[in-house]
Chains A and B, each alone.
Chain A
Amino acid sequence: MTRTPTPSPAPPPGPAAHPWVILVVDDEGDVLESFKALLEESMPGVRVLTATSGRTGIEILERERVDLIMSDFKMPGMDGIEFLVQARRIRPSLPRVMFTAFADDELARKALADAFVSEFLSKGTEPTEMLRRVAQLLKYAP
């Protein structure tokens, strides 16, 4: 699981520049953009791939190298849990994070039980705390 910053011999899109890749799925554009800016600007070496639906997220997951998956819950079409369940099927070893504005213990339990998420991150969490948690999950060591 440890991601060493040593570049691969045949790097796809600049693995040396971006040793850590996070896939964020959320239907809200503002949230996606802001989160991407926060992560990429606060954590050098991190690249954020974004998707506005579960379907697009799956496509990216099948195509790209990803180190951490973060997904919103409430999305049109496929919801966050469905997406994370499918993501687990494709890349079982990847850490998954439910990243939501909901405040429901039941939802957290369901995410844990169905999608085996590593973390249930509220959108109300402070930016610095978010960064700390993501860094922990990524085993981020620049």
Chain B
Amino acid sequence: MRRATASGTLYKRDPVSPPLAKAAAPERPAAPRRPRTRVGRWLQNLRISRKLAVVIMVHLLHATILLVLTSYGLKALDASRAYVEGEGLWSKAQKDATLHLLLYADSGDPREYQAYQAEVNVTLGDKQARLQLESPHPDMEKVREGFLAGRLNAADIPDLAWLFRTFHWEPHLDRAIGIWAQADTKMLDLLQLAQDLHAERSAATPDLQHVAELRAHLYTLNAQLTVLEEEFSQTLGTAARFLSQVVVIGTIGLTILFVGGALLISATVARQVTRSLELVRGGAQRMAAGELGATIPLEGNDEVAGVARAFNDMSRQLAGAEKERFAAEANRRQLEQLRELDRFKTDFVNTAAHELRTPLMPLRTQVHVLLRDKKEPPSPRQRHGLEIMERNLKRLATLVEDLLLVARAQAGRLTMTMASMDLGKLVTDAVDSYQPTAQERGIRLTLAPLPACRVEGDAGRITQVMENLLSNAMKFTPRGGSVQVTLEERPDSARVDVADSGIGLAPEAVRRLFHPFVQVHDTTQITESGSGLGLYICRQIVQMHAGDMGAKSPGPGAGTTLWFTLPKKAPAAPVAPAPEAFADPVPPVGASAPNREVPQGDAPA
């Protein structure tokens, strides 16, 4: 009955609201509820076909047990009936035997005695059967013989024996058998009495007084037996009634048990399947509502759970694909932003270049023209002013060009046109072009004998580097000093050293030399000033060739050597210049000696 309400709630869970409303707002999945009982868990793991088979098996078992129970019950009742019949025959035989004995006592007719003997054999046959059945190993042939003597139907004999042995424990039957044994004991008295009577009647002179006594005793015995017979009948009847009650109650009980069990299992199966399907529907609805990756929290091992697992796999895959799509989208956006930034940088560099160079160009050309005007030469005062303008315009123009170069490098817009070139010739040409300046300044510019050395590189840019290094060396070398250029060829690269005997550098200054906008020398004393970008640009150019650039100096006043290397083979992919320089334009200076890198006094720098 309890199950009936349980299945009632099962259907109550079905939504009363229209399904559309549910689809609009898919409910969160109920937490997976584990079956409380072991049977429930076992059932959940069965496939649906097996679950149905279990229900059918329960019904089959029920029917089988009922069949067995009914057939045994009927058999027992039939045997009881046979016992009642046997008791009837037994009683009749006993009564007839008593009657013939009475007649024999009165008449002494031996035929009466013979009739008595025939009747009394019936009770003796039953006794033989009973004694056999009570023994631990009954001889069934003797049982049969006894019951046949007791005038019982041969067909009833197996059931009689079965009931006796099987239900001996049953109190009523046990008592009936006890009464039977008592009656058999009384029958022994009757037999004794019959023998005594027969002896008296067979005597030459029968003692009639004794006969009368025996006759009276016979009455008493008969009366006692009648009581036992009635008791036996009643007890057996009670046993039969009890048996039939057992059968009826057993049938009803088993039916209730099995039908109830089958209902319980069916309801459990139905609930599990319905609930599983609801969970699957919920998962599908959540996915339909856009929740990719929605999973069905389903346990068990049946077909629905298989569907749920397949759904979950699909869901996970979809979610993964969606995630990848999102990531790709994010990447694409980021790339777009980077491109945007790149475009902006390029635009900025171009605009800056255009806007800075355009006004400078007429300024410089006009000053140049005015200074060199032969028709209307400037007055000494004008010439002096124009010369100052020209010098500073040049300085400004150099700064602009350097800045633009750095900006182009930073924006990745500086490209190298790589070609095979003779580095030896390039260096020679650069040195030659600086010889006039060197002579003018009283500096000895020498070039070690050069090997022909071919490298791949941008000749224009490397020339720029060479000129920068030479100009730098000239700037910081006093009159009477020397600048020595050497080219060294190595297996895979070439190295150029520009060593001057100039003012030298403190170790701190060597470190900072290649940072942008850093001027390690006091600039107030020099006539031509750099922007502080020259060496930075040189190093960027060399790095874009996959080469390296550095400086060394034994210390202030001991000269400086700037060197760079170039690989013989140009890098296949363009090399980005080191970006660290702008991030940290002025590195921290040692607190102990903040000014050491700016040598005072001895600096023509």
Q: Which A residues have a C-beta under 8 Å from some C-beta of B?
A: 28, 30-31, 33-35, 37-38, 41-42, 74, 100-106, 122-124, 126-128, 130
Contacts and interface: CB of A to CB of B under 8 A. Distances in A.
Interface string B382-401: 00000000000010010011
B404 interface: yes
A105 B415 contact: yes
Contacts of B413: 104-106
A102 B366 contact: no
Nearest to B362: A34
B369 A124 contact: no
Contacts of B357: 101, 103, 122-124
Contacts of A130: 365
Contacts of A101: 353-358, 361
B365 A34 contact: yes
A106 B360 CA distance: 23
Nearest to A109: B415
Given A102-B353, A126-B397, A37 B369 contact: yes
A41 B372 contact: yes
A131 to B, nearest CB: 9
Contacts of B372: 41-42
B346 interface: yes
A126 B360 CA distance: 10
A37 B366 contact: yes
A31 B358 CA distance: 7
- Per DSSP, chain B at the interface is helix
Contacts of B368: 38, 42, 127-128
B372 to A, nearest CB: 7
Q: Which 10 A-B pairs have the closest CB atoms?
A: A34-B362, A101-B357, A103-B353, A34-B365, A127-B368, A30-B362, A123-B361, A38-B365, A101-B354, A123-B357
Nearest to B354: A101
A30 B373 CA distance: 18
30 contacts: A28-B358, A33-B362, A34-B366, A35-B361, A35-B362, A37-B365, A38-B368, A38-B369, A42-B372, A101-B357, A101-B361, A102-B350, A103-B353, A103-B404, A103-B408, A104-B408, A105-B413, A105-B414, A123-B358, A123-B360, A123-B361, A124-B353, A124-B360, A124-B361, A124-B400, A124-B401, A124-B404, A126-B397, A127-B364, A128-B368
Contacts of A41: 369, 372-373
Q: What is the size category of the interface that chain B forms with chain A?
A: 20 to 34
Given A38-B369, A42-B368, 13 more contacts: A33-B362, A34-B369, A41-B372, A41-B373, A100-B354, A104-B353, A104-B408, A105-B415, A123-B357, A123-B358, A124-B397, A126-B397, A127-B364
Contacts of A104: 346, 349-350, 353, 408, 413
B394 A126 contact: yes
A34 B360 CA distance: 11
Nearest to B397: A124
A48 to B, nearest CB: 12
Interface string B408-452: 100001110000000000000000000000000000000000000
A101 B356 CA distance: 8
Contacts of B373: 41
B419 to A, nearest CB: 15
B353 A35 contact: no
B149 to A, nearest CB: 133
B362 A31 contact: yes
B361 A31 contact: yes
B363 to A, nearest CB: 8
A104 B414 CA distance: 8
A103 B350 contact: yes
B246 to A, nearest CB: 109
A100 B358 CA distance: 8
A127 B359 CA distance: 14
Nearest to B414: A105
Nearest to B370: A37
Interface in B327-366: 346, 349-350, 353-362, 364-366
A91 B368 CA distance: 32
A35 B358 contact: no
A119 B144 CA distance: 140
A35 B360 CA distance: 12
A103 B373 CA distance: 31
B552 to A, nearest CB: 32
Contacts of A126: 364, 394, 397
Contacts of B359: 30
Interface in B259-286: none
A103 B353 CA distance: 6
Of the candidates B349, B354, B366, B373, the one having the most CB atoms from chain A within 10 angstroms of its own CB is: B354
Contacts of A102: 350, 353-354
A106 B354 CA distance: 15
Contacts of B365: 34-35, 37-38, 127, 130
A50 to B, nearest CB: 13
Contacts of A106: 413
Contacts of A128: 368
A125 B577 CA distance: 25
Nearest to A38: B365
Contacts of A100: 354
A63 B168 CA distance: 146
A39 to B, nearest CB: 9
A37 B415 CA distance: 34
